[in-house]
Structure 1
């Protein structure tokens, strides 16, 4: 990072400075010179035209003398710092006024042509070689009695223009340097607000790549960098939680597989070496069968959850009567309900109520909820299954009056392999995956499931399905 991004930005900044100076130096003079010449020549022409129009015609009407004209021209020469010539229509010099900086005025302008200036009203150069330096020449006709009797020419040295141009360029260079130095603040801002946070984010990425998910990015600004840092910090915390969850998941799976396998292995070895006599083997074979069923259930549940985890689960949705499904699932528990003297109370909104869902998945949801309700219900109790029809939704409730769920466990019951202490002690056959499967199945349908429970009172699960 130090040798690439920031260095590149500094190099670009330096190149920008050189290009700016080079551009001003090469283009500045040309861009300033032409407008300046036009502005000065226009100002001089206005002065010449005013005198030629309002004052000099009086010379030809003999209202003023030649000395008066010479005095007027001298004032113009001092005011404009220019050479002022007053000639007749043939270019013969009538009078002039110029400082010692200019060459003396000729007696007659050779090849005098008033039209050579053209429509631009001025021309530049040495004016027929009469000046040793370039001048701006403007010409204004002196009209008397409806004809041009003479012309007023004013020649202003280009050195005056050059001096003004140098002053302007000097100011431009100073302004450029000041702007360039002030723009250094952009470089500093980039370093403090972009480069430093980006360096910390890059360091965090390296730490995460090396497996250090405990690293936290120390950027807390209220901008995009702060948002990115907060997102990465949140990502790392989620990855840590996922890593912890994976470790816990593997530990739980290992524990739940090891326990029945250990029992099966122990009983089989005892029967093989004669520790368990033949007349008692039937009892232990039933225990082995029970443990085998536990392994089968656990494997089935894991495969079911894997279907949801792939995110490519295709639901086989169809319309069916939810009441019929509830009756069939409840009937499958007749044996255990008879043993525990538990009865089902079915409260249906209507005789028939059709929903659109994956029939097999909803059967599994109802089976897992009823299985849980039976496990945590006392003998000689009731379990209520109720449906409610609201708008375009059907709500199904499974309510038991058993031991309930502790308040601090309500948010954890959806976690895989989570079992409350009461569950693990009361029923060792549970895999801890039933409610996780229920939630995944309902959410796969785009619906929600909620739980309300009070210890010692009972538990109620309510989920929704779309109505036909």
Structure 2
């Protein structure tokens, strides 16, 4: 995986945060243990020097000898690695446990705070330089008192290394555990992130690349219900939409090829027949009329395609104005008088009021109503019924156009707005381009209104809304 990849950046970030956390914990623990050990060492010295201090007045009074005093002083914690000096009330050293300090005997000891000792308080100084060995020592001074009288002091030099040795072992364990915990945490984070985040994302990326190359049937395996799982489901939904779009594109190309090929074949055949003399001269006008009708059909198809393309690309222009929808309905019905008479249809027009004003574009509304009325006339049986109704409902006007032809199968209703969709081949003819309903829906949608279709007990009714002005 590349160093600039998401997994590297995220794991590095987590590793940094986890490391900082563990280091802070290790530092706090180290400081706590250090404070604990120093406090414990002081408490032990306080306790053991307190036991041994009772021997000092006895020694000064010649009640015990050097051997007895040394045995009593051996009770002091750390004496095996430390050095003890006994100082009298005048501040002079009169006894040492280590021969190396003999040169200090009968010399004055420089107390850091004698007044404090006289008051009965012990003194502890870490990092004091030993006057003989020149090593860093922990200096502990315990006052010796008889009753309230200050008799002198016990001075204990303990090498700091003696105190630091167990601390260093603890530090080593703390930082070893910290380093191990950091490494394990990074490995666990990497494993979890790889399994739960990066692997699904990598699969998404792989499938996306395949889809971009035309493999629109590829899908991502959904293995969880978390955000990654939801993303995978959304991705699959998008992929299904792309697959459907690709299918619609291929169907569109197939349909448009068929729709163009049929009239072109007819035109070419009839023109060739006329040029070759196969069609008699007295029939030429008849066949030229057929050619003209086919050209008209091609013109309608191209115009409808251009309109639909403009609508779907957002280049469709219209101007909303106040207009009388009842008057537009009357104008559109008048254009179909010949077709209505030819099929013997009974047309019922029920309009609410003499005038009903709505917001819309006149030319586009004429196109909508013309398409819907033409659709109803084509699908109504001979001597059937067509009904057009306008009525208000709240702040909307509902325009309904009904015909008592065959119902639309439920499986086909959701597809009737698709270009060139023909649920029942018998319901279409050469006059239809298969684009009327998609154009109608696009116009109404761009007005910000609704349109729907529903089967009635006998027949089909299209309804769309317009806003009252």
Structure 2 length as normaliser, TM-score?
A: 0.81
SS at match of 1:331: helix
SS at match of 2:323: strand
Corresponding residue for 2:403?
400
SS at match of 1:220: coil
Q: Select which of 257, 261, 273 maps to 1:258.
A: 261
Corresponding residue for 2:463?
462
SS at match of 2:292: helix
Please list the CA deviations of residues 376-429 of structure 1 after superposition, one character each: whole Å capped at 9, or x if unmatched: 1123333111123222222111111123323332222111011221223xx321
Give the direction of change, closer, same or farther, for the CA distance of 1:182–1:255 in structure 2 (3 Å limit): same
Corresponding residue for 1:423?
427
Bigger shift: residues 29-38 or 383-392: 29-38
1:161 to partner: Cα distance: 1.9
How many residue pairs match? The answer is: 458
Corresponding residue for 1:91?
91
SS at match of 2:220: coil
Q: Is the 8 A contact 1:415 1:436 kept in 2?
A: yes
For the aligned residue pairs, the C-alpha RMSD in angstroms reads: 4.3
Give the direction of change, closer, same or farther, for the CA distance of 1:81–1:254 in structure 2 (3 Å limit): same
SS at match of 1:365: helix
State whether structure 2 residue 434 is matched by structure 1 residue 446.
Answer: no
Give the direction of change, closer, same or farther, for the CA distance of 1:64–1:210 in structure 2 (3 Å limit): farther
Q: Is the 8 A contact 1:103 1:132 kept in 2?
A: no
Bigger shift: residues 354-363 or 324-333: 354-363
Q: Select which of 111, 125, 129 maps to 1:123.
A: 125
State whether structure 2 residue 143 is matched by structure 1 residue 114.
Answer: no
Question: Unmatched 5+ residue regions in structure 1?
Answer: none
Q: Is the 8 A contact 2:55 2:72 kept in 1?
A: no
Please list the CA deviations of residues 22-80 of structure 1 after superposition, one character each: whole Å capped at 9, or x if unmatched: x97xx999988876665555455556678999996998899998759877654334699
Corresponding residue for 2:243?
240
> After the TM superposition, which residues 182-331 of structure 1 pair with which residues of structure 2 at under 5 Å, given as runs?
182-183=184-185, 184-331=187-334
Please list the CA deviations of residues 410-455 of structure 1 after superposition, one character each: whole Å capped at 9, or x if unmatched: 222111011221223xx32101111111111122223221111258
1:302 to partner: Cα distance: 0.5
Give the direction of change, closer, same or farther, for the CA distance of 1:350–1:113 in structure 2 (3 Å limit): same
State whether structure 2 residue 78 is matched by structure 1 residue 75.
Answer: no
Give the direction of change, closer, same or farther, for the CA distance of 1:28–1:328 in structure 2 (3 Å limit): closer
Bigger shift: residues 351-360 or 322-331: 351-360
Cα separation, 2, equivalents of 1:233 and 1:198? 13
Question: Unmatched 5+ residue regions in structure 2?
Answer: none
Q: Select which of 351, 355, 358 maps to 2:354.
A: 351
Q: Is the 8 A contact 1:56 1:69 kept in 2?
A: no
Q: Is the 8 A contact 1:341 1:380 kept in 2?
A: yes
Corresponding residue for 2:167?
165
Cα separation, 2, equivalents of 1:120 and 1:204? 77
Cα separation, 2, equivalents of 1:36 and 1:84? 27
Structure 1 length as normaliser, TM-score?
A: 0.81
1:11 to partner: Cα distance: 10
Cα separation, 1, equivalents of 2:12 and 2:37? 40
SS at match of 2:453: strand
SS at match of 1:155: strand
SS at match of 1:114: coil
Give the direction of change, closer, same or farther, for the CA distance of 1:126–1:404 in structure 2 (3 Å limit): closer
SS at match of 1:414: coil
Q: Is the 8 A contact 1:141 1:151 kept in 2?
A: yes
1:213 to partner: Cα distance: 2.4
Q: Is the 8 A contact 2:11 2:190 kept in 1?
A: no
SS at match of 2:75: helix
SS at match of 2:311: helix
Q: Is the 8 A contact 2:88 2:151 kept in 1?
A: yes
Corresponding residue for 1:370?
373
1:141 to partner: Cα distance: 5.0
Cα separation, 1, equivalents of 2:27 and 2:106? 35
Give the direction of change, closer, same or farther, for the CA distance of 1:127–1:91 in structure 2 (3 Å limit): farther
Corresponding residue for 2:435?
433
Q: Is the 8 A contact 1:52 1:152 kept in 2?
A: yes
SS at match of 1:156: strand
